[in-house]
Amino acid sequence: MRRTSKKKLKDDFLRYVCQTSSEPMGIEVADAQGCIITDRSGKKYLDFISGIGVANLGHTHPAVVKAVADQAVRYLHVMVYGEFVQEPQVRLAERLALVAPRSLSVTYFTNSGTEANEGALKTAKKYTKRKKLVAFKGGFHGDSQGSLSVTGRELYQKPFRPLLPDVSFLPFNSLKPLKAIDRRTAAVIVEPIQGEGGVNIPADDFLPALRERCDKTGALLIFDEVMTGMGRTGKLFALQHWNVVPDILVLAKALGGGMPLGAFIGRPEIMKTLSEGPPLSHVTTFGGHPVSCAAGLAALDFLLENQLPERAEHLGLYLMDRLKKLSEIGGVKDVRGKGLLIGFELNDPKLTERFVRNCREAGLILGWTLHSNTVVRLAPPLVIREQEIDQGLEIMRESLSKALDQ
Ligand SMILES: Cc1ncc(COP(=O)(O)O)c(C=O)c1O
């Protein structure tokens, strides 16, 4: 690719690439390896957000790169989804069936998280022949129209109405309102831990009660584990924290090891509904691209062989412990999380903005959450070393002190 001068590239980014905010981070990426992103001036950033929960193996992992290169010379796209037998797809679906709860054995591959949620919702409506959907306030499921319809934040829904009709939003982590799930309900969609909502962890009885209510009414339970899956929370899937098995499990982000890939996985009798009445009622050209599936298989193998979920659990405790100590300097309201999905909640939005900006200037990339302006999200690669965590914590300490004085 032809290299452009530093100044011109940033200008061209702002002019030609559609902007989604008035203040993009704008880091000009030259290289990304492990937990480090290097910009075009040579400045190194420690990445504590993994491209928003994607780089669980770190950036540019050699096992993923090799799988991509090997598959790229065999074949790229050959046929729309579901028609030809493509080995990387079959092997990844088989592997997912082995590691997911036993009843979830059939996978439909997509390109992204929002598409996987669309597919899961459509499957539930077709299977149950019902129309009503139930979702939760503060939930996030993606930005296509169906997923946005079940995303629990008025601010983001309003400009795009009308959205899907017949969607009810319940408070997350509250038992009594679950009664609103009834025999008209096709599906209930929930993140086991809300990510964009501010890293909200439910009480231990919430998801079992939700499962029970769905069983009672015949509504399908969809777990959106786009953010929480693939080891992020200290288990391969967050559902394992509560031993609750959904009817459909949705994955994306880290699933492709850095390549675009999503999936929804269900029981055979539910997933069969997509092949009949009428057939071809839910298809995709690129979903389950062979290169993405090859990358996903390599990533999953590495994740399991190297016990990265266990590593996330252990390092999450280490990081949270130190974040709590760091909180003593002031300005911090709460530290919560599971594994390496951590919410660091500050006292006010302006302080949060200054803190995140200071961190970035000092070489640490942190995340934000869409639905909260005081919760900073930490989701570093699961391969991060303790020494790198310490380095990040030091930057956070200095940046918070500075933000408190600014
Ligand atoms: C829980 C959850 N679901 C769905 C999505 C949408 O995924 P994608 O951006 O791949 O469409 C996201 C993205 O942040 C997410 O966090």
Please report the pLDDT score of residue 23 as a whole number: 87
Residues 33 and 162 in one domain: no
Residues 24 and 75 in one domain: no
pLDDT digits (tens, 9 = 90+) for 334-372: 999 999 999 999 999 999 999 999 999 999 999 878 888
Alpha carbon of 227 to ligand 1 centroid (Å): 7
**4 pLDDT more than 80:** no
Domain finish residue from 255, 290, 305 = 305
Residue 1 included in any domain: no
Please report the pLDDT score of residue 45 as a whole number: 98
Alpha carbon of 226 to ligand 1 centroid (Å): 6
Residue 134 included in any domain: yes
Please report the pLDDT score of residue 368 as a whole number: 79
**112 pLDDT more than 80:** yes
pLDDT class for 2, splitting at 50, 70, 90?
low
Question: For a substitution probing ligand 1, which of 54, 141, 341 has the most ligand atoms within 8 Å of its CB?
Answer: 141
Q: How far apart are CA 72 and CA 320, in angstroms?
A: 40
Read off the tokens for 164.
Answer: 């899907």
* 167-170 vs 132-136, strand pairing mode: parallel
Residues 280 and 260 in one domain: yes
Which residues touch 86 (CB under 8 Å, ≥6 apart)?
A: 75, 78, 288, 290, 293
- Ligand 1 contacts (CB < 6 A) are 52, 112-114, 117, 140-142, 191, 195-196, 224, 226-227, 252
SS3 string, the chain, reads CCCCCHHHHHHHHHHHCCCCCCCCCCCCEEEEEECEEEECCCCEEEECCHHHHCCCCCECCHHHHHHHHHHHHHCCCCCCCCCCCCHHHHHHHHHHHHHCCCCCCEEEEECCHHHHHHHHHHHHHHHHCCCEEEEECCCCCCCCHHHHHCCCCHHHHHHHCCCCCCEEEECCCCCHHHHHCCCCEEEEEECCCECCCCCECCCCCHHHHHHHHHHHHCCEEEEECCCCCCCCCCCCCHHHHCCCCCCEEEECHHHHECECCEEEEECHHHHHHHHCCCCCCCCCCCCCCHHHHHHHHHHHHHHHHCCHHHHHHHHHHHHHHHHHHHHHHCCEEEEEEECCEEEEEECCHHHHHHHHHHHHHCCEECEEECCEEEEEEECCCCCCCHHHHHHHHHHHHHHHHHHHHC
Residues 248 and 382 in one domain: no
Provide the β-strand partners of residue 338.
Answer: 341
CATH of the domain at 348: 3.90.1150.10
253 Cα nearest atom in ligand 1: 10
What does the mean pLDDT of the chain come to?
96
pLDDT digits (tens, 9 = 90+) for 243-259: 999 999 999 999 999 99
Q: How far apart are CA 105 and CA 2, in angstroms?
A: 45
Residue 289 included in any domain: yes
Mean pLDDT (whole number) for 11-19: 96
Residues 134 and 263 in one domain: yes
Residues 109 and 201 in one domain: yes
Q: How far apart are CA 244 and CA 238, in angstroms?
A: 9
Residues 168 and 275 in one domain: yes
Residues 232 and 285 in one domain: yes
260 Cα nearest atom in ligand 1: 10
Please report the pLDDT score of residue 1 as a whole number: 64
pTM reported for the whole predicted model: 0.97
Residue 225 included in any domain: yes
Q: How far apart are CA 215 and CA 127, in angstroms?
A: 15
Residue 12 included in any domain: yes
**34 pLDDT more than 80:** yes
The count of domains in the chain is 2
Residues 38 and 84 in one domain: no
Residue 133 included in any domain: yes
Please report the pLDDT score of residue 367 as a whole number: 85
Domain finish residue from 255, 283, 305 = 305
Residues 49 and 66 in one domain: no
**392 pLDDT more than 70:** yes
From the number of C-beta atoms within 10 Å of its C-beta (0-12, 13-18, 19+), residue 158 rates as exposed
Q: What angle do CA 61, 49, 3 make, to 5 degrees?
A: 60
Which residues touch 66 (CB under 8 Å, ≥6 apart)?
A: 298
Alpha carbon of 34 to ligand 1 centroid (Å): 22
Residues 97 and 194 in one domain: yes
Residue nearest to atom 13 of ligand 1 (CA): 142
Please report the pLDDT score of residue 371 as a whole number: 82
pLDDT class for 170, splitting at 50, 70, 90?
very high
* 372-378 vs 167-170, strand pairing mode: unpaired
Domain finish residue from 266, 281, 305 = 305
**11 pLDDT more than 70:** yes
Question: For a substitution probing ligand 1, which of 226, 286, 370, 371 has the most ligand atoms within 8 Å of its CB?
Answer: 226
Please report the pLDDT score of residue 369 as a whole number: 81
Mean pLDDT (whole number) for 57-81: 98
Residues 377 and 270 in one domain: no
Q: What domain range is 93 assigned to? A: 62-305
